[in-house]
Amino acid sequence: MKYAMLPEQWEESIETLRGAGHELAELSDADFLIYNGDGSDFPLRLPENIKFVQIPSAGVDHLLDVMKETDVIWSNAAGVFDNTVAESTIALLLAQLHAHRYVNDTFSSYEEVQDHKTYLHEDKTVAIIGAGGIGKRLITMLSGFGPRIIAVNRSGNAVPGADETYPISEVDKVWPEADYFVLIAPLTPQTHHMVNKNVFAQMPNHAVVVNVGRGPLISTEDLLAALDSGEIAGAALDVTEPEPLPDDHPLWKDPRVVIAPHIANTRNSVRRHLGAHTAKVAAAFEAGEEIPTRVDPNAGY
């Protein structure tokens, strides 16, 4: 098949697609489009020859308005970065638990470091909110540490490796039950600020919240209040609201917060893996099969 890639040309992806027999072409002559922009530079009108659009991210919230204005099939990159994001999640959680910023940086004394440090393997429970592909891979990686695992997904169907699974409609049952919470849910109107002051109040005061999904899953204002009041013990954030955080934002100075600059999955990793994923999507389309990563713009994922 022929494809166009806009607005940037990613050589790593192009090389992989060339090896799979696909040809880079102009938009007017392509069968599908790989779009790697932020939505502001999306073509005002797609030609009728474009059968589907592939994007390089699992989350689609930044493109929903554009998607709803087109009649074309959209495919996301769900499943492509399960390993990278799961590994980054563990790194963030361990960094927070092991107090990697020591005396003379953010903690005032060696005793304060001792009080802060905890261990994942010591009879702990991890709740994964949004236990899709990344969550399932995370469960596998966490198994060596031995925590009890609660999974939360849309359906409530049992997730392999989890000790318990709840549907998202019953997530309120989970907040009091875990020590560490990992947020990987898609950002939708229903999940916007799903972790707020009411939720923080339900968590144990030793709880740690890890966000590798989208910044607005957490109310930043309520997170600051929960940290100040001691309702929770800390947070580890790969994504924030706002993003990027202003240089003078109080989260930067809080010793209980670890912040990464939205690198749970890196640009290089995206470019290396997107080509192979797109080739599989194109093969499914050519065979008349359902695209496994087809997006439902109305649902928001």
* Average pLDDT estimate for 247-260: 93
Residue-wise DSSP of 196-256: -HHHHHHS-TT-EEEE-S-GGGB-HHHHHHHHHHTSS-EEEESS-SSSSPPTT-GGGG-TT
Q: From CA 144, how far away is CA 142, in angstroms rounded?
A: 5
Of 94-103, 123-132, 195-204, 209-218, where does mean pLDDT reach its minimum? 94-103
Name every residue whose Cβ is closer than 8 Å to that of residue 105 and which is 6 or more positions away in sequence: none
Give the pLDDT score at 99. 64
Tell me the pLDDT of the chain averaged across its residues.
94
Give the pLDDT score at 119. 82
Q: From CA 209, how far away is CA 186, in angstroms rounded?
A: 16
* Average pLDDT estimate for 57-77: 96
Four-CA torsion 199, 201, 202, 208, nearest 10 degrees: 80
8 is annotated as an active-site residue: no
Q: Which of 22, 116, 214, 273 is catalytic?
A: 214
Band (pLDDT 50/70/90 cuts) for residue 236 is very high
Four-CA torsion 196, 198, 202, 205, nearest 10 degrees: 60
Band (pLDDT 50/70/90 cuts) for residue 103 is very low
Q: Is 60 exceeded by the pLDDT of residue 105?
A: no
Q: Is 80 exceeded by the pLDDT of residue 192?
A: yes
Give the pLDDT score at 111. 72
Whether residue 2 contacts residue 31, with contact meaning beta carbons closer than 8 Å, is answered with: yes
Tokens at residue 4, please?
């166009």
Give the pLDDT score at 270. 94
Q: Is 4 helix (H, G, I), strand (E, B) or coil?
A: strand
Percent of the chain with pLDDT over 70: 95
214 is annotated as an active-site residue: yes
Give the pLDDT score at 98. 85
Q: Is 70 exceeded by the pLDDT of residue 113?
A: no
Q: Which of 15, 23, 221, 243 is catalytic?
A: 243
Give the pLDDT score at 116. 65
* Average pLDDT estimate for 49-69: 96
DSSP element (H, E) containing 275 = helix 267-286
Give the pLDDT score at 118. 78
Four-CA torsion 140, 90, 188, 285, nearest 10 degrees: -50
Q: Is 80 exceeded by the pLDDT of residue 10?
A: yes
The model's pLDDT over 133-187, given as tens digits with 9 standing for 90+, comes to 999 999 999 999 999 999 999 999 999 999 999 999 999 999 999 999 999 999 9
Give the pLDDT score at 255. 85
206 is annotated as an active-site residue: no
* Average pLDDT estimate for 81-90: 96
Whether residue 251 contacts residue 245, with contact meaning beta carbons closer than 8 Å, is answered with: yes
Give the pLDDT score at 221. 98
For the full predicted model, state whether its pTM sits above 0.75: yes
Q: Which of 62, 193, 249, 262 is catalytic?
A: 262
Name every residue whose Cβ is closer than 8 Å to that of residue 4 and which is 6 or more positions away in sequence: 24, 25, 26, 27, 30, 32, 33, 34, 50
Tokens at residue 301, please?
């994922």
Name every residue whose Cβ is closer than 8 Å to that of residue 207 and which is 6 or more positions away in sequence: 178, 179, 180, 181, 232, 233
* Average pLDDT estimate for 3-30: 98
* Average pLDDT estimate for 223-245: 96
Q: From CA 285, how far away is CA 291, in angstroms rounded?
A: 6
Residue 112's alpha-carbon distances to 172, 179, 192, in angstroms, are: 32, 20, 34
| Nearest one of 13, 61, 24 to 39, comparing CA atoms | 61
Band (pLDDT 50/70/90 cuts) for residue 48 is very high
Of 7-11, 147-151, 253-257, where does mean pLDDT reach its minimum? 253-257
Give the pLDDT score at 108. 63
Residue 266's alpha-carbon distances to 83, 177, 261, in angstroms, are: 12, 32, 10
Name every residue whose Cβ is closer than 8 Å to that of residue 41 and which is 6 or more positions away in sequence: 6, 7
* Average pLDDT estimate for 67-72: 96
